[in-house]
Amino acid sequence: MPKRSHPVGLAIATILVAAAVAGFRLRADTIASHHGHMPPGVRAFERKLTAMEARISGRNEEAVAALTESAALEEERSQVGPPIDPTARELLADLLLEMGRFQEAA
């Protein structure tokens, strides 16, 4: 039997993710106004949050687009040490697998 999401739990998750995205965007806008641009790492994380928000709301194509952009931004910058959180490329592959788009996920 497939696992079903509880509507109240989903609503709470949607609200929490939306609040996190709004709070992060406010901080990101402050950083951008201070530096004259949004650093790629900040923009990449903002795109990951946007993808989470879209995914929870069932907008999978929007999530794919946001994660694709995030992955490109992450690959532009140099990384020292292992990543702390999953990379956008990993998250994108997971989403594509769930959507049945196996060729793209590989």
| 50 touches 17 (CB < 8 A) | no
pTM: 0.74
Would you say residue 103 has pLDDT above 80?
yes
Encode pLDDT of 51-98 as tens digits: 998 998 899 999 999 999 999 999 988 777 887 889 999 999 999 999
| Digit-coded pLDDT (tens) for 5-32 | 566 676 777 778 778 877 877 787 787 7
Distances (CA, A) of 87 to 5, 75, 94, 99: 25, 10, 11, 19
Q: 38 or 75, which is more confident?
A: 75
